[in-house]
């Protein structure tokens, strides 16, 4: 090789080294190289740090990670990492909606596969809801088309559909189908709850209650512009109108409608007797018990699972509802994320101080088998956190026979 060619070769290598090194530096600097999940979590926390309410920012920013190539599962893992670093993001139900909706949008016909891949024990099963809603978000079907769809909808939440549901997941799945019925029915609530009657009743169980609640929730808690457009003509935007609207139904339909109208009454819940007044909108004892359960669940999450605020809430309700309040609050914690199990147990300790600890611990034992698969890590974590005799009862799977609400009426 001549000296000239050797020098030319060295020059080319130098240029490659310089520009290649420069490209690698710029790629790393501007985030073009793959980030670890921990780095994604840190970046989201940093982006949302200056927001007045960071959780709402997380709901928006985390799904954007899927545009950077993260899978649905990886996106939920980033969510877990963020939850481990911040104090108030265990209730990520809206995020669950957004992430699974984004995944479903890739191939709407594969929405049942998305349901089967949803994570357990986090985000209050929002993932199940979002996948179902996204599949039919833009599809108002004719009556004939709805009837053709009934066999498929009837099996989505049943064993053998790609997922081994826990009791809670199955109930939540039917709740998500309630949302879906409003879309396929074009916002007609009568059509929607009629579909619930066809798909949610099986030989061994009846999930019409949770399906109804999903349908009525779509009226009172729209999230996206399409949601608002879907129910814009429903006359139920004030407490007066909502009561008239809900009283137009009967039985459990009427009760579910009133329960889901709670956002219109939210400001009154902090007033003396506010919760009680709301839950007497329906006269029968079963409906009132379910109403209290719904409101205790809602407020526990809205209080960001703050134990002092939850205790204050339970101390403010009628004495006969105090045990239910503590129990419902504790179970809402483990439903939202099993990492809140220590918080739930402390709530029952507070209940014990008020003489209603049995009711609270019994609910956690019941939830051990309803919320988790028996023998799973989450199941054992909950059971082993309980004092005796509830610990032994829980580990032995006796929660399946418990009815903690039997004395709430």
**For position 140, what pLDDT does the model report?**
75
Quote the CA–CA distance of 26 and 380 in Å, as a whole number.
Answer: 48
Domain shared by 148 and 112, yes or no: no
Contact between 209 and 252 under an 8 Å Cβ cutoff? The reply is yes
Domain shared by 98 and 158, yes or no: no
What's the pTM?
Answer: 0.82
pLDDT surpasses 50 at 14:
no
More confident residue, 93 or 192: 192
Three-state DSSP class for 15? helix
262 within domain boundaries: no
Domain shared by 145 and 232, yes or no: yes
Quote the CA–CA distance of 105 and 96 in Å, as a whole number.
Answer: 14
Quote the CA–CA distance of 310 and 339 in Å, as a whole number.
Answer: 18
Residue-by-residue DSSP string for 174-207: HHHHHHHHHHHTTT-HHHHHHHHHHHSB-SS-B-
Q: How many CB atoms lie under 10 A from the CB of residue 304?
A: 14
Average pLDDT over residues 57-72: 95
**For position 162, what pLDDT does the model report?**
63
Positive or negative: CA dihedral 79, 85, 90, 91? negative
Contact between 336 and 90 under an 8 Å Cβ cutoff? The reply is yes
Three-state helix/strand/coil letters over 242-277: HHHHHHCCCHHHHHHHHHHCHHHHHHHHHCCCHHHH
383 within domain boundaries: no
pLDDT band at 390 (very low <50, low <70, confident <90, very high): very high
| Of the residues 187, 207, 236, the one at which a domain ends | 236
Average pLDDT of the residues of the chain:
87
> What are the φ/ψ torsions at residue 106 (nearest 5 degrees)?
-65, -35
| Of the residues 236, 259, 275, the one at which a domain ends | 236
Quote the CA–CA distance of 278 and 263 in Å, as a whole number.
Answer: 11
Domain shared by 228 and 141, yes or no: yes
pLDDT surpasses 60 at 183:
yes
**For position 6, what pLDDT does the model report?**
42
pLDDT surpasses 60 at 359:
yes
Domain shared by 181 and 218, yes or no: yes
Quote the CA–CA distance of 36 and 365 in Å, as a whole number.
Answer: 38
pLDDT band at 118 (very low <50, low <70, confident <90, very high): confident
**For position 141, what pLDDT does the model report?**
85
186: buried, middle or exposed (CB in 10 Å: 19+, 13-18, 0-12)?
A: middle
176 within domain boundaries: yes
Cβ burial 84-113 (10 Å sphere, 16+ → b, else e):
eebeebbbbbbbbbbbbbbbbeeeeeebbe
Determine what percent of the chain is predicted with pLDDT higher than 90: 66
Quote the CA–CA distance of 383 and 380 in Å, as a whole number.
Answer: 5
Write the CB contacts of 363 (distance below 8 Å, at least 6 apart in sequence): 327, 328, 330, 331, 404
pLDDT surpasses 50 at 27:
no
* Tokens matching residue 246: 């809900």
Domain shared by 100 and 185, yes or no: no
Domain shared by 176 and 116, yes or no: no
**For position 301, what pLDDT does the model report?**
92
113 within domain boundaries: yes
| Least confident piece of the model among 93-107, 260-274, 385-399 | 93-107
401 within domain boundaries: no
**Tens digits of per-residue pLDDT, 233-272?**
999 999 999 999 999 999 999 999 999 999 999 999 999 9
20: buried, middle or exposed (CB in 10 Å: 19+, 13-18, 0-12)?
A: exposed
- Per the omega criterion (within 30 degrees of 0), is the bond before 389 cis? yes
Number of compact structural domains in the chain: 2
**For position 138, what pLDDT does the model report?**
67
Average pLDDT over residues 19-37: 44
**Tens digits of per-residue pLDDT, 203-231?**
889 999 999 999 999 999 987 777 888 89
**For position 11, what pLDDT does the model report?**
38
**For position 109, what pLDDT does the model report?**
85
251 within domain boundaries: no
Q: Which domain holds residue 76?
A: 37-80+89-122
More confident residue, 120 or 216: 216
More confident residue, 397 or 139: 397
Q: CA angle at residue 75 from 165 to 113, to 5 degrees?
A: 40
**For position 229, what pLDDT does the model report?**
86
Q: How many CB atoms lie under 10 A from the CB of residue 284?
A: 11
Domain shared by 141 and 229, yes or no: yes
pLDDT surpasses 60 at 22:
no
**For position 265, what pLDDT does the model report?**
97
Three-state helix/strand/coil letters over 364-397: HHHHHHHHCCCCCHHHHHHHHHCCCCHHHHHHCC
Return the DSSP state at 232.
Answer: T
Determine what percent of the chain is predicted with pLDDT higher than 70: 90
Average pLDDT over residues 318-342: 94
Three-state helix/strand/coil letters over 77-115: HHHHHHHHHCCCCCCCHHHHHHHHHHHHHHCHHHHHHHH
pLDDT surpasses 80 at 153:
yes
348 within domain boundaries: no
Write the CB contacts of 214 (distance below 8 Å, at least 6 apart in sequence): 129, 174, 175, 176, 177, 178, 179, 180, 181
pLDDT surpasses 70 at 311:
yes
């Amino acid at each position: 090789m001549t000296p000239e060619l050797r020098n030319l070769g060295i020059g080319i290598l130098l240029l490659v080294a310089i520009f290649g090194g420069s490209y690698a530096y710029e790629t790393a600097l501007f985030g073009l190289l793959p980030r670890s999940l921990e780095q994604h979590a840190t970046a989201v926390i940093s982006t949302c740090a200056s927001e007045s309410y960071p959780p709402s920012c997380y709901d928006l920013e985390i799904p954007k990670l899927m545009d950077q190539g993260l899978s649905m599962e990886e996106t939920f893992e980033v969510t877990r990492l963020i939850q481990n670093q911040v104090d108030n993001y265990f209730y990520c139900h809206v995020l669950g909606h957004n992430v699974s909706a984004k995944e479903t949008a890739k191939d709407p016909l594969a929405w049942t596969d998305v349901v089967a891949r949803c994570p357990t024990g986090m985000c209050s099963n929002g993932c199940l809801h979002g996948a179902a809603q996204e599949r039919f978000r833009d599809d108002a079907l004719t009556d004939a088309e709805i009837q053709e769809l009934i066999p498929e909808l009837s099996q989505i939440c049943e064993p053998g559909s790609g997922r081994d549901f826990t009791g809670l997941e199955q109930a939540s799945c039917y709740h998500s189908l309630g949302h879906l019925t409003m879309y396929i029915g074009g916002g007609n609530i009568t059509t929607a709850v009629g579909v619930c009657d066809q798909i949610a009743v099986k030989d061994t169980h009846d999930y019409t209650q949770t399906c109804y609640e999903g349908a009525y929730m779509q009226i009172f808690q729209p999230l996206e512009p399409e949601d608002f457009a879907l129910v814009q003509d429903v006359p139920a935007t004030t407490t007066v109108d909502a009561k008239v609207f809900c009283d137009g139904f009967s039985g459990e339909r009427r009760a579910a409608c009133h329960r889901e109208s709670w956002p219109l009454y939210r400001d009154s819940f902090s007033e003396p007797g506010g919760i009680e007044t709301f839950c007497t909108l329906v006269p029968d004892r079963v409906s009132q018990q379910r109403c209290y359960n719904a409101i205790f669940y809602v407020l526990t999450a809205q209080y960001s699972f703050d134990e002092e605020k939850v205790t204050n809430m339970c101390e403010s309700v009628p004495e006969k509802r105090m045990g239910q309040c503590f129990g419902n609050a504790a179970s809402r914690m483990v439903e939202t994320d099993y990492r809140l199990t220590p918080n739930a147990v402390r709530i029952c300790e507070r209940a014990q101080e008020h003489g209603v600890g049995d009711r609270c611990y019994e609910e956690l034992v019941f939830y051990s088998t309803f919320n988790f698969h028996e023998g799973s890590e989450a199941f054992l974590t909950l059971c082993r956190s309980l004092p005796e005799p509830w610990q032994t009862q829980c580990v032995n799977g006796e929660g399946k026979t418990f009815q903690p609400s039997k004395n709430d009426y």
